[in-house]
Amino acid sequence: MQVDMQSEPPIVVCLGSLNMDMCVDVSDAPVAGETVMAHALRYSPGGKGANQAVACARQGARVRMVGSVGADAHGLALLDSLQADGIDTLAVETNPHQPTGVAMVLVEASGQNRIVVAGGANQAFRWNATGLAPVLRGAYALVLQLESPVQEVLKAAQWARASGCLVVLNPSPVPEVVPGALWALVDLLVLNESEALALCGLDVGASHDAAVQAIRHFQQWGIRRVVLTLGGAGAIAADGDAVTYHPAARVDVVDTTAAGDTFLGALVAAWTRGLPFADCVHQGMTAASLCVQTAGAQTSIPSRAQTEVALTAPHWQNL
C-alpha cells in the first residue's frame, strides 16, 4: 500500500483485548504456598489490544479499536481512556452478559512481571463481517494478538487481506492450536523469546544464530518480515533476506509491563510513515526503552515526541 505523506496519518486498526490491569508491587514473587505482602496496588487500563492501540496512537497513527468490554465500570473506564488518546472506539462492543477482562499483574522490584488474565468479554468477541468489515476500509494495517479467540483473529486477518490491508500479528499468548491458514496472511510477525520457543521449539535467546534460524523457520510459513524481541538483549529483525540485530539501550528498569506492546506500536506507526524497516525497529526499541522506566501499562507508553527526543543514531548490525 502506498502512503501519501501529504495526507493525514494512515489508519491502523487494532483488534484485541481490553483489560483493567490490577497491578501489585512486590519485592519478589511468592513461591508455591507462600504469602507475601505487597507494597502497592494500582488499577490501570490495559489489555494487549488496547495497549497496542494506545502505542500506535501516541506514535502518530490514526487508530480504530475493535474488541469487547462488559457493561460495567471497568468497561466504561477503558473506553474513556482510549478516547482520551484520540482512538475511535465505535467498533468496541459492550457485552451485557460478560464482565470486562481483568489482568492481575505481579510486578517484582527487578521490574520483571507475571500476569494472569481473566478474559471475560474478550473471550466472547465474535467477528461480524457486516458490522466490522467497514472498519478496515482505507486502513493501512490491522494489528492482532491472541487474547481474543483465535478463530475470530483468523476471520479478521482474512478480511484484512481481502481489503488490501497489511496484517501484523503478535502471537501472544500462544494458544494450544494456531490455525495454519493464519500464518500465510501475516505481513509482519512480532514475538518474544517464549512465544518463539512455543511455536518453533528454538531457544532464540541462546545465540544470534538460533534467532536467525527461528526467523527463517517462520519465513518458511510465508511471512516476509519477522521481529524477535529479546528483552534486555535487544531484538533481531528480518525483512526478507536482510537480518539486523538491534541492541537495547541501557536503562534502569522499573516495570516491563507493556514494553512489547509499546515496541510493536512504535514500529507499526513508523512503518505507516514509510520509514525503512530497520529504522522502524529502531523506533520501537527506543519507545520500549522509555516504557520500562515507568510503572504501569498504558501510563508508561511514550508519545512520538518523547521517542524522537530519545532517539540515538541507528547502531544496528547486519547478521
User: Which are the catalytic amino acids?
Assistant: 261
Q: Is the peptide bond before 173 cis (omega within 30 degrees of 0)?
A: yes
Contact assessment for residue 246 and residue 226, using Cβ atoms and an 8 Å cutoff = no
| Number of Cβ atoms within 10 Å of the Cβ of 6 | 5
- The DSSP code sequence of 4-37 is -TTSSPPEEEEES--EEEEEEEESS---TT----
Distance CA 172, CA 211 (A): 18
Q: How many CB atoms lie within 10 A of CB 228?
A: 27
Supply the DSSP string of 145-188, one letter for each residue: ESSS-HHHHHHHHHHHHHTT-EEEEE--SPPS---HHHHTT-SE
Helix, coil or strand: residue 309: helix
| Amino acid code (one letter) for 271 | W
Q: How far apart are CA 157 and CA 184, in angstroms?
A: 10
Cell 505481579 belongs to 106
CB distance 268 to 12 below 8 Å: yes
For the beta sheet containing 19-26, the strands, ordered from the edge strand earlier in sequence to the opposite edge, are 40-46, 19-26, 101-108, 113-118
Cell reading at 204: 532464540
Number of H helices and number of E strands within the chain? 10, 14
